[in-house]
Amino acid sequence: MAIVDYIFQTSTSVFLLWTLLVLLLVYLALSFVPPQEDQKGPPGPRPLPLLGNLLQLDLKRPYETLLKFSRKYGSVFTVYFGPKKVVVLVGYQAVKEALVNRAEEFGERDLTPILEESSKGHGILWSNGDSWREMRRFGEATFREFLADKKAWEDKIIDETQHLIKVFRKFKGQAFDTNQPMNYAISNIICSMVYGSRFQYDDPEFISLVERIYVPIELTGSPSLQLYNLFPCIGPLVPNKTRFLQLSMISQKKNLEIFRHLKETLNPEKCRGFADKYLLHQQQLEASGITNIHFHIDNLAMTVIHLFAAATNASSASLKWGLLFMAKYPEIQDQVREELTRVAGSRQVQEEDRKNLPFTNAVIHEVQRFASIIPISIPRKTSQDVTFQGHFIKKGTAVYPLLTSVLLDETEWERPQSFYPAHFLDNDGNFVKRDAFLPFSAGQRACLGEGLARVKLFIIFSTLLQHFRFTPPPGVSEDELDLTPVAGVTLIPSQDISAVPVSD
C-alpha cells in the first residue's frame, strides 16, 4: 500500500501529520504574501506556503468545498491545490462565457504529471496544439459519419442491450451491484465502434481490457496520485503511479497488436470502425505523398485509450444512476413504464421513438443533471493573458470549470436540489432543451462522442425499463437507499438494487 494512501486512510496519522505541518508553517503562513500577479487576479482563500489551501479542501469531494468557497468569493475565484494556482469557474454564466464565448482563450488542456507522462502529448483528451487539432478534426468528421449511419450503430447498441438483459435476468430479482455488467455492456459498444467487433463477457482478453479502462480512472482519483500530481518529487513513494503507468503501457501495447491485425485485413469498401477509418486515412495520406507528422500509430493508440476512458465511464455511470433513481422514485418509474407501454408496447424501442417519449427523455436528462457525474470538468488552461469578468488571469493558469455548479445553478433550475424531470418539460408535457444542461462540458473541448452517447443512454435505459422493474434490495425502503457516490474523478453510485423481470 502506498505510504500516502496509508496516511490518508489512518485517521490518527492524518491528525498528527496535519498538526505537525500546521505548527511548522503557521508562522510562515501569517507572513505569506501572494505574488503581485495574484493580487490582481480573482479573489480566494488565503493560501499557506507549499500547502496552498489543501487544509481547507475535502480531498475526496473537492467540488463541495469549491461550491462553499464560491458563496464567499463569487463565480470566479482562485484556490491553491498545494503550490498549484487554479482559477475556478462557478455557475452557468461564468462557465458558458469561458468555454463557449471565449473558447480559444480557455481552450488548452492543463496536464497533470501522471497524464503527461502516460500520454506523452498524444491522443485527443490530454493533448494541445496542432496534434490535438488534427485528432479533434478527424474525430469529429468520423463521428459525424457514424451518426449519419445511425441505424447501423443503433442495431449494435440494441444487440448489446439484449446481452445485458440476459445478465440482469440471471440475478432473478435478487439485489446486485450494477457496476460490472453495465461496464461490460458499455465497453463492448465502444469495442464495436472502435474495432468493429464485440467480445463475450467471459473472454479473459475482454475482462482485462475493461480492467485497464476503469482501474486507471479509480487510481486517478486516489489521494496518493492526487498528491503526486501536486508534488511529483514523492513519485518513488507512490505505487499507484507505477500501476497506472503499467496499465497505460499494456493498453498501448494491446492496441498496437490489434491495429496490426486490422491493417492486414483493411477493406476500403467496408469500414469496421474508428480504427479502420484512421488507418485508411493514414494510407491515403501516404499514397498522396502528403506528410502529416500527427497521423502516426501512437496517436491512434492513445486516442483510442482516451475514447474508451471518456465514453465508457460517463455512459456507464449515467445508466447506473438512472436505475438507482428509478428504484428511489417508484412513482417516476411508473410514469416512464406507462409511457413506454403506450408508445412502444412490447417491441424494441428505437431512437426515432424519442420524439414520442417526452417524459422518458426528460427523465434521462434529469438523471444526468441531478447525478452531476463529472463535477469538475477536465481541467483547462489559459492560452494567453486574459481579463475575465474584471479579473486578470495570466497565460498558462489552470482553470477548473465546476460543472456541478452549472447543473445545480439556482438561477437556471426551478428545483436544483431535487430529482425533478419537469425541468425538461413544458406545460403541455413536451420535451424542452435547457441551455444550462452541460453534462458533456461545452465549447471546442466538449465530449467528442456526445451524439452517440445520447443514443446509447436513450436505447439502453428505455429497453431496461421495458423488461425490469427496479426496486431497493429486500428489507430496504426507498427512503433508505444510499445516494452517496463513491469518491473519485467520476461520481459512481455504490448502492445495490434489484431488477425484477416484468416480461419475457
User: Is 90 in contact with 401 (CB distance < 8 Å)?
Assistant: no
Phi-psi region of 345 (alpha: psi -120 to 50; beta: other; left: phi over 0): left
Nearest to 499 by CA among 470, 477, 474: 470
Amino acid (1-letter code) at residue 202 = D
Query: Could you give the CA distance from residue 257 to residue 246 in angstroms, rounded to a whole number?
Result: 17
Give the residue from 412, 399, 410 showing the smallest Cα distance to 98.
399
DSSP 411: T
- Measured on CA atoms in the order 161, 162, 164, 165, is the torsion positive or negative? positive
Determine if residue 271 is labeled as part of a ligand binding site.
Answer: no
Grid cell locating 145: 459519419
Residue 88 CA to residue 67 CA, distance in Å, equals: 10
Nearest to 373 by CA among 400, 399, 408: 408
| 342 within 8 A of 404, measured Cβ to Cβ | no
Question: Is-contact 458 354, C-beta < 8 A?
Answer: yes
Residues 59, 379 contacting (CB under 8 angstroms): no
Which residue type, as a one-letter code, is found at position 365?
A: H
Binding site listing for heme? 447
Binding site listing? 447
